[in-house]
Amino acid sequence: MKLTLRRKVISLVLFAALIPVIVTQIAMFGFKNNIAETTEAELDTLGREALRQIAYDMYNLCMTSNDLIQDKVDRAQKVAWEIVDREGGFKFSEERTEWIAVDQFTKKSDKIALPKLMLGNKWLGQVTSFETRVPVIDEMKSLMGVVASIFQRMNEAGDMIRVATTVSNTNGQRSLGTFIPALMPDGTKDVVIETVMKGSPYKGIAWAAGSWFITSYDPILNAKGEITGMLVVGEQIEAVPSLRKNIQSVTVGETGTVTIYGATGDRKGRYIITHDGKKEGESAWFEKDANGEYYVQKIVNDAVKAEDAVFHTYSWTEQGSGKEPRKKVSVAIHFYNWDWVIVASTYEDEYYSAKASVEEVSSGFTINMLLLTFGIVAFTLVVAWYFSNRITDPITSLIGSVEKIARGDLKAGSDELNEYKIQRRFTLFATQKLNIDDTDESHLLVASVRKMASNLFSLLSQVGSSGVQVNSSVTQITASARELEAT
Same domain for 94 and 215, yes or no, is yes
Positive or negative: CA dihedral 64, 68, 69, 70: positive
Same domain for 168 and 258, yes or no, is no
Same domain for 189 and 217, yes or no, is yes
Last residue of a domain, one of 350, 377, 394: 350
Q: State the Cα–Cα distance between residues 207 and 215, nearest whole angstrom.
A: 10
Q: State the Cα–Cα distance between residues 133 and 129, nearest whole angstrom.
A: 8
Q: Are 442 and 395 in contact (CB under 8 A)?
A: yes
Residue 92 lies in a domain: yes
Residue 180 lies in a domain: yes
Residue 486 lies in a domain: no
E strands present in 166-247: 178-180, 202-208, 211-221, 227-236
Same domain for 199 and 262, yes or no, is no
Number of domains in the chain: 3
Same domain for 182 and 96, yes or no, is yes
Q: Are 165 and 176 in contact (CB under 8 A)?
A: yes
- Which of helix, strand or coil describes residue 292? coil
The CATH code of the domain that includes 123 is 3.30.450.20
Last residue of a domain, one of 196, 212, 239: 239
Enclosing domain of residue 447: 408-468
- Which of helix, strand or coil describes residue 148? strand
Give CA torsion, residues 206, 212, 215, 219, to 10 deg: -40
Residue 384 lies in a domain: no
Same domain for 178 and 256, yes or no, is no
Same domain for 146 and 217, yes or no, is yes
Residue 52 lies in a domain: no
Same domain for 218 and 312, yes or no, is no
Kindly report each contact of residues 366-373 with a partner whose C-beta sits within 8 Å and lies 24 or more positions away, as own/partner: 366/28, 366/29, 366/32, 369/24, 369/25, 369/28, 370/25, 373/21, 373/25
Q: State the Cα–Cα distance between residues 480 and 416, nearest whole angstrom.
A: 46
Residue 291 lies in a domain: yes
| Strand pairing class (257-262; 147-153) | unpaired
Same domain for 284 and 169, yes or no, is no
| 371-400 residues labelled b (16+ CB within 10 A) or e (exposed) | eebeeeeeebeeebeeebebbbbbbebbee
Residue 337 lies in a domain: yes
Chain CA centroid to CA 257, Å: 14
Same domain for 233 and 148, yes or no, is yes
Residue 480 lies in a domain: no
Last residue of a domain, one of 218, 239, 260: 239
First to last CA, the chain: 78
Same domain for 232 and 268, yes or no, is no
pLDDT per residue rounded down to tens, the chain (487 residues): 566 666 677 777 777 767 777 777 677 676 666 666 666 667 677 778 888 999 999 999 999 988 988 999 999 999 999 999 999 999 999 999 999 999 988 899 999 999 999 999 999 999 999 999 999 999 999 999 899 999 999 999 999 999 999 998 888 899 999 999 999 888 889 889 999 999 999 998 887 766 778 899 999 999 899 999 999 999 987 667 788 889 999 988 888 899 999 998 777 999 999 998 888 889 999 999 989 999 999 999 999 999 899 999 999 887 666 678 888 999 999 998 888 999 999 988 876 666 666 667 767 767 777 787 778 778 877 877 777 776 666 666 666 666 666 666 656 666 665 665 544 543 443 444 434 445 556 556 666 666 666 666 666 566 656 655 666 666 777 777 777 766 6
| DSSP-derived secondary structure letter, 119 | E
Same domain for 305 and 224, yes or no, is no
pTM of the prediction? 0.62
